[in-house]
Structure 1
């Protein structure tokens, strides 16, 4: 008797996910090289690569190592951290609208940064510290409100939207009470900007990625099981409460580190995981594909922000807001169409 053939779908899906992840990683590298080579002092890609390996001219070394590379590394790591946080949130709530922007974590991070600027007149370090601490406090508050006595993704979304509304009002009040100089600084930070970013900011987002990515990857199978629902996940041996809390903690820390590095950049966490999932065609959180998609997206958006209007640089948050807002409208329209069907 012939044995039935095993369906090759699972293996093909894994290969597609791997191929998409590698392609997105290469795209992020190419975009980063283009970003380093473009500007008022243009450099060819071979010159950029030579300089990165320590064989450039003194002028090229200064331009790349001191001026452009820190900004590009900050863009790569911040985009990757935001996208990974977004993938975790969307997996936890089982909803494409799950992201730090929608659930209140970005607004909470902004509150901490605003307090550091407006109340204490702090500089970059104070803003980063306030942003991280406030994001952690917001995450803890949302967790306690949403999952007291047990809860599900829809409850997290509702609580998060409510907290986001409250914190938006608090942030507006802080801006009104600030003097003109502090208000201008705060608004630029709130928009999300990579201008003037150095190795310190790159280290914040990069350090969070190095520490948390292995933990997040280890959670991958449990998250995929959690997307089936709590009861099926328990049936598969998943400790639902532990894995959910661990994933949420990682997501909050990643989002906080990204905000501390570049400000609350909008919509990368929302769109990158969705685009990655569409490319891979796979269920589950698509963690690594999302990470590389976020890195490529934010670095590409920064290139556009610097080159879209010659002689005038836009904050990168303006570009991600325009592109991400358009994607959100499309996503909502598709959701409404499916509901009608």
Structure 2
């Protein structure tokens, strides 16, 4: 239950809205942490520039000396698109994981566990093996592969009802078969294609430029906005089919829309950066632990997802500097620790 002491009313002109105090505080903290991470990502020394030079690029009025043109290139053309991609992709993955957990009613109902990411990887490998090595071709193939995998999983899982457990087991089965197919395709491909596929499959933000990020971000931001707009229907689905029907929600239709948006979010994010694990799985659960809310605070979840991915990307850049690791390696390691903790937490409950 939400007590009256935990509610606050926000008024803007004639409009007013009640919000949970704790959720609002956690959202503010998450946004503050995200802002700090953005500045760290943009301003840390490296790639031949100093922090002072990076500050001079972002804040020309306070710079104390001439800023080299190379520093401007590093900050605005290399770091800024990478940072914006991390923020947007983190939010997209967090929301896609949240939506799938609502549909499956299971904390393991995540796109990376259900096989959607593996399907996107299959599409990318096929494109690279067939000689379509451009970023646009690989991204399009990955998007189509993720959508195709989701369609297969949903077709088999929803043939006899809408059991969340059946969906997870079907997704695991499809993911295993696609994983075996991916390994076979990599073994059959030439060395150059195999290396490109392996690098893409690690999940990385390395080398992203505005030409690659701009349009993908527009698509992802549109889907994120649609998800946030759909908050009340998602809350209704979380209450259960009978309750949702009682308050006038078309459960079957809303479930299809929710699944479609979740698949589009994860397929688009994977097409841009490759399969990145952990964020979709953990963001919603971490948000619920922090907010203790009976609702699904989607905006807070999106902010937490952005923080998780951007912090992981900063670690990927700095842990073995000057060598930059794929961010997927960091998130996979975190995901393993998180799953062990989640199992221990559930056993204690």
TM-score > 0.5, shorter chain as reference? yes
- Distance (whole Å) between structure 2 residues aligned to residue 51 and residue 33 of structure 1: 15
Does the CA contact (< 8 Å) of 1:201 and 1:262 recur in 2?
Answer: no
Deviation at 1:188, TM superposition (A): 0.8
- Distance (whole Å) between structure 2 residues aligned to residue 14 and residue 186 of structure 1: 45
Does the CA contact (< 8 Å) of 1:219 and 1:243 recur in 2?
Answer: no
Can you give the 5+ residue segments of structure 2 that lack an aligned partner in the other structure?
Answer: 9-17
- Distance (whole Å) between structure 2 residues aligned to residue 278 and residue 208 of structure 1: 30
Other structure's SS at 2:4 match: coil
- Please list, as runs of the form range in 1=range in 2, the aligned pairs for 1:244-255 lying within 5 A after superposition: 244-255=255-266
- Distance (whole Å) between structure 2 residues aligned to residue 289 and residue 21 of structure 1: 5
1:65/1:115 Cα in 2 relative to 1: closer, same or farther (>3 Å)?
same
Show the counterpart of 1:32: 38
- Distance (whole Å) between structure 1 residues aligned to residue 215 and residue 166 of structure 2: 31
Q: Is 1:327 matched with 2:338?
A: yes
Show the counterpart of 1:50: 59
Q: Deviations over 1:252-296 (max 9, x none)?
A: 111011111111011111112211221111133321111111111
Other structure's SS at 2:51 match: coil
Other structure's SS at 1:285 match: coil
Q: Deviations over 1:223-264 (max 9, x none)?
A: 222122211211121111111111111111110111111110
Show the counterpart of 2:181: 170
- TM-score of the pair, normalised by structure 1: 0.91
Show the counterpart of 1:275: 286
Other structure's SS at 1:8 match: helix
Show the counterpart of 1:266: 277
Deviation at 1:172, TM superposition (A): 1.1
Does the CA contact (< 8 Å) of 1:84 and 1:287 recur in 2?
Answer: yes
Does the CA contact (< 8 Å) of 1:20 and 1:289 recur in 2?
Answer: yes
- Please list, as runs of the form range in 1=range in 2, the aligned pairs for 1:77-226 lying within 5 A after superposition: 77-226=88-237
- Would you say how many aligned residue pairs link Structure 1 and Structure 2? 333
Q: Which one is further off, 157-166 or 19-28? A: 19-28
Other structure's SS at 1:233 match: helix
Deviation at 1:10, TM superposition (A): 4.7
Can you give the 5+ residue segments of structure 1 that lack an aligned partner in the other structure?
Answer: 1-5
Deviation at 1:162, TM superposition (A): 1.2
Q: Which one is further off, 261-270 or 194-203? A: 194-203
1:117/1:53 Cα in 2 relative to 1: closer, same or farther (>3 Å)?
farther
1:219/1:73 Cα in 2 relative to 1: closer, same or farther (>3 Å)?
same
- TM-score of the pair, normalised by structure 2: 0.89
1:121/1:96 Cα in 2 relative to 1: closer, same or farther (>3 Å)?
same
- Distance (whole Å) between structure 2 residues aligned to residue 65 and residue 266 of structure 1: 27
- Distance (whole Å) between structure 2 residues aligned to residue 219 and residue 126 of structure 1: 31
Show the counterpart of 2:5: 8
Q: Deviations over 1:187-217 (max 9, x none)?
A: 1110111111111332254223321123212
Show the counterpart of 2:326: 315
